[in-house]
Structure 1
């Protein structure tokens, strides 16, 4: 299963670089609750790809978006890229 990184979790003046908001196609608010607790991996592009692992913590908003906590900070290049959910 794949998801798409939408943006960092943020406030008015603060960006939480270890937390991202992702979207999974075909999932609404109720269906997205089933994915809480699942693990996921983001793989960078390039000669030496790196993996950053994370876990789905909760839903975000009313449209079925999910909040993910990664083990370390995510680079800006990860925006609009895909993550694989297991």
Structure 2
């Protein structure tokens, strides 16, 4: 399943670099998003390196997912696709 990285998870004054918000194809409510919790996520960089993570929870009621990656994500990853396994 494909998903697109929407943004970093953050607050008013903070940004968490290894937490990303994902918008998955065909997921449009919290119930569908909750079924994906615990699945592995892989992001491929332009060099071909893989950064893996895991879906931690749903974010809001419109089907957005929160993924925690093993290390901080580059800013260039926003708008790029990830693979949900």
Question: TM-score band (shorter)?
Answer: over 0.9
Counterpart residue number, 2:12: 12
- Deviation of 1:50 (Å): 1.1
**Is 1:30 equivalent to 2:31 in the alignment?**
yes
Counterpart residue number, 1:69: 68
The TM-score normalised by the length of structure 2 is 0.96
Cα RMSD for the two superposed structures = 0.7
The TM-score normalised by the length of structure 1 is 0.95
Instruction: In structure 1, list runs of 5 or more residues that go unmatched.
Output: none
Counterpart residue number, 1:79: 78
Give the distance between the partners of 1:57 and 1:17, measured in 2 at CA: 15
Structure 1: 4+ residue segments shifted above 6 A: none
- Deviation of 1:33 (Å): 0.6
